[in-house]
Structure 1
């Protein structure tokens, strides 16, 4: 009897249907994190994510013969997570730092599990279904609270301003988070439409839903994200029309241009901050960045220890908030936040894994005909551009989606495939070809 139950459990954990359900639940839980935490409790959310990590570990154990070190998790991602763990040693509040690292590890492990048990097409479909449900539910709640009941919803910090055309935030906590989710949805729904993965009416309706959500959020970052997404998509579609022999030159020119722009931005960073500070809507953000940079200089190499968000305000975040006179929960810039917490070493690892994933995704999207490969660079465009004005990518759904993109990119193009070539070991099938259903 026990053997039979064990065999059935193994079959269930290794099945494609269970993998699909796991992916839907994991993505839905992560993206609904704010609502779960504020309607139930933070421990409810932590328990759900920990349970998903345990189930994910069991799924990977059942599928262990399908897995190899190549493509399991990129080296720089592992280095970043390990460096965050090492930073606990010099953090002022080691317990808070360690629990922050456990959260980082949990979301990352769930993302790795999804990348191992589902291919890119299946992830796009699952994410599209989850985003349709959550954005639809957000608009429905806003209409219920702001129009039908004409009140507010304190549990979700929802003021109910949809009758005045926003700003709204849905079930995501802030209008900037809603704009971030809406732009991810636009990229996902567009790829679904190109792949004809859903009916045309569903695809068009989904794009309209995401566009309306972004517009009603009235987020200052929404327009920037829309422009970045449009530019990235236009350039990618143009490159796909270039002859294969000329694409390498185009990639080099684009890479040089991006590096030069980054160098110019760094050299003139003080003048840029002054210009940004002149805009009253961004004055507080610019002042926060300047204050964070002053604390970065005090521990430029190793940082102040990993915490993730600043919710409990350990040192030096409590001091930064005191000096700013406002309770910030992050540096409002993922790159500055990483540098503050993990120093230059952490920034190099974080920037390196993001840049490498983006480069891999960009090359795949330009070389391969299937539109499914457009999803990864478009997603990373939204995530990395958002990181300039928010720290969403260092926790919760933003971190999960970033790791998912990084691992998926590493599966397709990894330097470790050279080891197989030198040892004459047959390379495993790519994720898109090894799993049915």
Structure 2
């Protein structure tokens, strides 16, 4: 497939990715109305760009995964039984805007260019975050609130601060996204992208290593256990993919079976040593209040188990039942901190089945993409390249995070999920893809282990 990529397309792609992964910086700078205006403007530009570049045909709904289409239809139709119809309308609009951005990235960029845009956006977030925390810590020397807020003289929970000025105290830092777990997960994604680019020489060695140091430093300063856990799981998945690549086609099933067995043993070990694991990461027994939130969400979801309470994306704290569903230390939470519980709550068992099916399909295609050999224009096998590992590794990180955060359903998490789920399907039957390398072809079926 030929991708009509020019400077405008690349710049817009970086802006889309920066905005979905660092939406809080715009909200903190411009306020919610300013943020809404910015998102609306970007959405219009994306739609115009797709029209001018004739990209709509590449992502027509009949080309998309059926489970994704059905999930989207269910979210829209849930307006008919939603307990909070106004909030559902806002949630549908937000989901449509982020989905449009994801489809634009699928149609406009090849995998190497997509990784380049993603890496630029993530590195920008990390670099600006460290600069922001340095300025706050060195010159302001006191916590900073988001702009356009006025809390008066009342005591404000720490979660409301944009930065707590803790850089020179060893952290945890929150960066421009205003949340240490979000910033840490950006660092995890950046590490994946940088490692893939470095392995395939898609980025110069010196700058790539420098940004890896920045990402590792940011991860250390955030002290986020959820992000570290996602990174460990992703590293394990990388090991499995490397073994599967080196194995002959007939033995890959054994590799995956052995990996599944090890994963089960690891889960059992974590269960047995649960207290020690919590102590290692400095977590309380209730996982920083998550157990209470999960119990509340599960109890509410059980009241409408089949089709849920209606789609809402982010929880809206001004409507029932979200106004008091999850409140801890004066903070009203805007998510269930578990994407699967969140989907069950909003769209019931039907929505959860569709969502699980879509994620499993995307995971299957991304892992197939990672281990199978690419083909040239004549259908001959080419040597494997690092860039094909990226979708599987990124999706693994997203899924690992989804059990303690609901970010896979909104903004950057949703965009990345859609990009991986849709693009792997669109490219499933294609040959001679732009993978950032054009080596000499070799006979099909000859794996690296037998060369």
TM-score, structure 2 normalization: 0.81
CA contact 2:289–2:328 (8 Å) conserved in 1 = no
Residue equivalent to 2:162: 157
Residue equivalent to 1:424: none
Q: 2:225 aligns with which of 210, 220, 226?
A: 220
| Deviation of the 1:92 alpha carbon | 1.9
Residue equivalent to 1:7: none
Distance (whole Å) between structure 2 residues aligned to residue 37 and residue 399 of structure 1: 19
Distance (whole Å) between structure 2 residues aligned to residue 40 and residue 237 of structure 1: 45
Residue equivalent to 1:173: 178
Residue equivalent to 1:397: 412
Residue equivalent to 2:323: 318
Q: 1:88 aligns with which of 44, 69, 79?
A: 79
Residue equivalent to 1:127: 118
Distance (whole Å) between structure 2 residues aligned to residue 317 and residue 431 of structure 1: 46
| Deviation of the 1:430 alpha carbon | 6.8
Residue equivalent to 2:208: 203
Residue equivalent to 2:338: 333
CA contact 1:276–1:286 (8 Å) conserved in 2 = no
Residue equivalent to 1:98: 89
Structure 2 matches for 1:282-361, cutoff 5 A? 282=287, 284-321=289-326, 326-361=331-366
| Deviation of the 1:120 alpha carbon | 0.8
> Secondary structure of the equivalent of 2:174?
coil
Structure 2 matches for 1:405-424, cutoff 5 A? 405-413=420-428
Question: Where do 5+ consecutive residues of structure 1 fail to align?
Answer: 1-12, 418-427
CA contact 2:340–2:403 (8 Å) conserved in 1 = yes
Change (3 A) 1:304 1:262: farther
| Deviation of the 1:172 alpha carbon | 1.1
Change (3 A) 1:305 1:249: same
RMSD: 3.1
Distance (whole Å) between structure 2 residues aligned to residue 79 and residue 111 of structure 1: 17
> Secondary structure of the equivalent of 1:240?
helix
CA contact 1:304–1:316 (8 Å) conserved in 2 = no
Change (3 A) 1:406 1:68: closer
Change (3 A) 1:68 1:215: closer
Change (3 A) 1:322 1:216: closer
Residue equivalent to 1:46: 36
Change (3 A) 1:220 1:281: farther
> Secondary structure of the equivalent of 2:17?
helix
Change (3 A) 1:71 1:165: farther
Per-residue displacement from partner, 1:48-102 (whole Å, max 9, x unpaired)? 3233332323333332586364884222111111111111111122111111111
Change (3 A) 1:378 1:15: closer
Question: Where do 5+ consecutive residues of structure 2 fail to align?
Answer: 147-160, 374-383, 437-451
| Deviation of the 1:257 alpha carbon | 7.5
Distance (whole Å) between structure 1 residues aligned to residue 435 and residue 391 of structure 2: 18
Distance (whole Å) between structure 1 residues aligned to residue 71 and residue 342 of structure 2: 14
TM-score, structure 1 normalization: 0.84
| Deviation of the 1:366 alpha carbon | 1.3
Distance (whole Å) between structure 2 residues aligned to residue 38 and residue 375 of structure 1: 31
| Deviation of the 1:153 alpha carbon | 2.0
Counting matched residue pairs gives 403
CA contact 2:59–2:107 (8 Å) conserved in 1 = no
Structure 2 matches for 1:252-267, cutoff 5 A? 254=259
Distance (whole Å) between structure 1 residues aligned to residue 55 and residue 227 of structure 2: 42
Residue equivalent to 1:109: 100
Distance (whole Å) between structure 2 residues aligned to residue 236 and residue 372 of structure 1: 13
